[in-house]
Every structure is written in structure tokens, then in C-alpha cells.
Structure 1
Amino acid sequence: MEPESSLVPSLDELRALARAQGVEPTDADLEGVLGFLRTVLPSLRELEEATQRDVPPAGMYLPDPEAT
């Protein structure tokens, strides 16, 4: 697994992303977002790594390979 610091954007990166969307968040807003991302992103990465790549999403229609 990658170090947590590589998973979470920096404060400046978040600020730039927000500005690109026309939003000017305060430092407190950005710190709140960073806290959320520090909690969620490592868990999402772990889930992604645990999920097999050859397993299709649940409910996805897969045609019968014998029918073609």
C-alpha cells in the first residue's frame, strides 16, 4: 500500500481544485476536507486492492459466451 501522504492531496492542491470550480474555501474548510480524505481514502484504497479485477460489478449483464 502507498504511504498515506501520497493518497491525500495537499492543502494547496485542494485549494487549486476548489478555485477551478469557482469556490474559495477557508483554510478551516480545507482542513475539514483533508481530515475526511485522510479517513476515507486509505480505506477505499484497501477495498480496491482487496477486490479482484476479474470480478464484474454486481448486477452487470454479461452475455453468455456459449451463445456467440
Structure 2
Amino acid sequence: MTAVSAIGMLYEDQISALLTSPNGHAERAELLRLLNPLHASAVLRKEKAAISQAIAAFALLLT
């Protein structure tokens, strides 16, 4: 959960730098695929908010 929270707090360019590779788009899509069920299974509002922030950060990069 700490790692997910940290992702949501990173700036857009920092996230881009973490995922720069020839298949960076696929990696971002895979991370979103993993985060969505995690969000669905989260119980605490704080957990859901942190996961939502991480999803939003990666979703911006996919556009």
C-alpha cells in the first residue's frame, strides 16, 4: 500500500521516467490492470483514495 501511495504522489515527469522503455505503454497498461482489482477489493476509504490517485497518475500517461 505504501508503494501505491507513493505512485499517486509522484509528478507526471517522474512517473514517465520510471516507465521509459520500448514497451513503456504496455507496462503502464499492465499496472492499471493490476490496480483496478486492488481498488475494487480495498476496504478503507484511505486505501481506495490512494489507489485512485495512482490510477489517475497512470491514466494521464496513457492518453
Bigger proportion of residues as helix = 2
The TM tier, using the shorter chain, reads: 0.3 to 0.5
Could you state the TM-score of these two structures normalised by the residue count of structure 2?
A: 0.35
- Larger RCO (alpha carbons 8 Å, 6+ apart): 2
Larger radius of gyration: 1
